[in-house]
Amino acid sequence: MDAGREAIESGAQPKSQIQSQNVMSYLVLARRWRPLRFSEVVGQPHVVRTLLNSIGKGRIAHAYLFSGPRGVGKTTTARLLARALNCQNPDDSEPCGKCPSCAAISDDRFIDVIEIDAASNRGIDDIRQLRDGVRYAPIEGKVKTYIIDEVHMLTEPAFNALLKTLEEPPEHAYFCLATTDPQKVPATILSRCQRFDFRRISVADIRDHLEKICRAEDIEYELDALDHVARKADGSVRDSLSLLDQVIAFSRGKVLRADVDEVLGEVRLDLYFKAVGLVNSRSMAEAFKLDEELAAAGTDPQDFILGLESHLVQILQVKSVGVENVDVPPDAVKDFKGAAQQFTEADLIRLIQFCSTAEVDIRRKFNPRTRLQLLLLRFAAMENSVMLADLIDRIENVAAGKPDDVHRAAGSVARPEVAETPTQPVPGRVDGKKSDAHVADKPQQISLNNAHSDNAADSAPVSEETQSGKAAKKKIVPIPDNPLEVAQNAWDEICDRIALKHNSSSKLMKFDGYPVGYENGYLKIRFTSRYHMDNARSRKQALQRELASFVGNVNLNFEVGELPARKVAGDKQEDDPALRLLMDRFNAHPQE
């Protein structure tokens, strides 16, 4: 106390007071690096260009609506517009930043720029006060600018009170409305404004902006650490600067990847790959080990599930559009490529759905860790996706004594082999001929395991006759000279094939549809009603496949109308295969 008193008496400030002043005078990076010119706005070139052209040509709207996610520059752009409109020495439509008006607006002491927070001033009385003040001419500047932030929070009566003023404001008044939820803004307000949709900032743009700030602030940094901060910001420049401030405070002036991981509590990327790898390993023990590792690190289950969901979406994007078109960390490109090759799109979608279900369960107050454990166990126990059409073809091939030549799609998850299950032979005909006693006594072996079926198909001897049969099955006939007549003659057989492979509703095409024309590679099929046409449209691919064996590759056009007179081969009820089967089973006969 004596030392402090002596310092005061001698005119010097105590050390504690100096530290207090330094703390109070510090301005966070998000405010210190707020853009002062349109050219400094990050990641919104479409907005900047339009506003600069409007200011330069004097075509300034009286009301603007800036919409977009948080921290992308909506309010900042509104303030820049207010500065540009009041600047005394504009520089190519940009505010000069030196005149009294620019300085006053930057310091939030310009009386003719009125900022209103609609979240706390949302009532009709607040809007009435605004409406009464807008009539008066500006005091300091050229125009008056009203910036209404979070405008979607206004009440319905407040919006109605604003309508007339927003549609026909005085010449000296301009409105800038900002919102993160434009769907809640009434259409009557939207129609009176020029709307600009602010985009989420890319990771590359945020990383470059952070790098520029670190250089200007003379802060040591690792580019990988800045990249990590940019990804955590989720497209928000303000969030990235707040996180950067936090990391700098933790690491005493340095931005290192290890410090970023510790401050932000981010899950390492290798843990996400380890979770996805459970699908291949099929190890419940590995699933529990991963859960223990996450629990020991203090990882929040919901955060991990959300991150895993985003990770799987990135893998799906890599598989669909290529890794060069997806924003992934440079050091993880090889890992993402490898993960994308291990799965089909259907499998990845199922994994994403698992994550979505687990996250919803946690939000419904279920035990978070139990839901995470269940998710990891579902990953380890997940079977690969199999197309139903491929499965049916494989069963038909095995039942007919043909090798299983329907392979799983490339890139699907490999599975361990399972024991083959012997089944009884299928009585009846094989390839249109009666099966002999030797064939009937030999049990057929059917396995739905992909890996084993592929190996079995490759190792099984295939006769020349079988090979030629397969080639004939895959062969598509050339388009005949009279495709319409051929299609009409084969129509009943085509419909019966589709009904047998899909469902009985497809048999309706046989009686309520008919080919009626052919022109320039298009076969026109007419149906008696839109219902039957829609039913056929849902089976269009199957219909084209069956037609290809009679008339070659043709395109199909559907229409509704009256069918021409024709004689259907299957008009007799006893010609229906299903009815014929019932008649044989119950020894029945049709009644005249």
Per-residue pLDDT reduced to its tens digit, 285-296: 999 999 998 888
Give the pair of three-digit tokens for residue 518: 């052919």
Options 3.30.750.24, 1.20.1560.10, 3.30.300.30, 1.20.272.10; CATH for 269-381 is 1.20.272.10
| pLDDT tens-digit readout, 461-503 | 444 444 444 444 445 667 777 888 888 888 888 888 887 776 6
Q: Per-residue DSSP letters for 84-105?
A: HHH-SS-BTTB--S-SHHHHHH
Q: What is the pLDDT of residue 389?
A: 66
Task: State how far Cα 8 lies from the chain centre.
Answer: 64
Q: What is the pLDDT of residue 436?
A: 45
Ranges of each domain in the chain: 1-26, 33-197, 203-264, 269-381, 483-586
Lowest mean pLDDT among 122-126, 342-346, 435-439, 562-566: 435-439
Q: What is the pLDDT of residue 82?
A: 92
Average the pLDDT over 77-83 and give the result: 93
Average pLDDT, rounded, for the chain: 78
Q: Per-residue DSSP letters for 167-234?
A: HS--TTEEEEEEES-GGGS-HHHHTTSEEEEPPPPPHHHHHHHHHHHHHHTT-EE-HHHHHHHHHHTT
The span from the CA of 275 to the CA of 311, in Å, is: 10
Average the pLDDT over 355-383 and give the result: 88
The span from the CA of 355 to the CA of 361, in Å, is: 10
| pLDDT tens-digit readout, 410-454 | 344 444 444 444 444 444 444 444 444 443 344 444 333 443 434
Q: What is the pLDDT of residue 480?
A: 78
Average the pLDDT over 579-584 and give the result: 65
The span from the CA of 425 to the CA of 18, in Å, is: 94
Q: Which residue has the tokens 């509703």?
A: 505
Q: What is the pLDDT of residue 194?
A: 92
Average the pLDDT over 285-311 and give the result: 89
> Are the C-beta atoms of 484 and 517 separated by less than 8 Å?
yes
Average the pLDDT over 196-209 and give the result: 91
The span from the CA of 194 to the CA of 177, in Å, is: 10
Q: Which is more confidently placed, 479 or 93?
A: 93
Residue 8 pLDDT grade (very low, low, confident, very high; cuts 50, 70, 90): very low
Average the pLDDT over 268-283 and give the result: 88
Q: What is the pLDDT of residue 5?
A: 41
Task: Flag whether pLDDT at 4 surpasses 70.
Answer: no
Q: What is the pLDDT of residue 232?
A: 86
> Are the C-beta atoms of 235 and 200 separated by less than 8 Å?
yes
Alpha helices in 87-179 (DSSP H): 100-106, 124-133, 156-167
Average the pLDDT over 87-116 and give the result: 89
Give the pair of three-digit tokens for residue 229: 């901060």
Helix (H) or strand (E) holding 519: strand 513-519
Lowest mean pLDDT among 139-143, 212-216, 263-267: 263-267
> What percent of the chain shows pLDDT beyond 70?
75
Whether 203-264 and 33-197 are alike in CATH topology: the answer is no
Residue 506 pLDDT grade (very low, low, confident, very high; cuts 50, 70, 90): low
**Strand 113-117 to 144-149 pairing:** parallel
Lowest mean pLDDT among 57-66, 322-331, 570-579: 570-579
Average the pLDDT over 170-176 and give the result: 92
The span from the CA of 335 to the CA of 82, in Å, is: 49
Helix (H) or strand (E) holding 277: helix 269-281
CB atoms near residue 63 (< 10 Å): 20
CB atoms near residue 276 (< 10 Å): 20
Lowest mean pLDDT among 118-122, 276-280, 394-398, 532-536: 394-398
The span from the CA of 439 to the CA of 117, in Å, is: 84
CATH 1.10.8.60 applies to domain 203-264: yes
Average the pLDDT over 19-33 and give the result: 72
Q: What is the pLDDT of residue 590?
A: 66
What is the CATH T-level fold of the domain 33-197, as seen in this structure? Rossmann fold (3.40.50)
> What percent of the chain shows pLDDT beyond 90?
27
Residue 592 pLDDT grade (very low, low, confident, very high; cuts 50, 70, 90): low
Q: Rounded to 5 degrees, what are φ and ψ at 560?
A: -110, 135
CA torsion, points 444, 446, 451, 457, in degrees to nearest 10? 40
Q: Which is more confidently placed, 581 or 345?
A: 345
DSSP letter assigned to residue 460: S
The span from the CA of 400 to the CA of 425, in Å, is: 10
3-class DSSP state of 39: helix
Average the pLDDT over 21-26 and give the result: 61
Helix (H) or strand (E) holding 451: helix 450-459
User: Model's pTM, two decimal places?
Assistant: 0.59
**Strand 194-197 to 63-67 pairing:** parallel
Closest to 78 measured CA to CA, from 38, 31, 43: 38
Instruction: Give CATH for domain 483-586.
Output: 3.30.300.180
CA torsion, points 48, 54, 58, 60, in degrees to nearest 10? -100
The span from the CA of 519 to the CA of 559, in Å, is: 15
**Highest mean pLDDT (candidates 417-421, 521-525, 534-538):** 521-525
> Are the C-beta atoms of 74 and 178 separated by less than 8 Å?
yes
The span from the CA of 138 to the CA of 88, in Å, is: 15
What is the Cα gyration radius of the chain? 36
Give the pair of three-digit tokens for residue 119: 């979240």
The span from the CA of 396 to the CA of 405, in Å, is: 11
Beta bridge partner(s), residue 220: 254
| pLDDT tens-digit readout, 142-155 | 999 999 999 999 99
Q: What is the pLDDT of residue 67?
A: 93
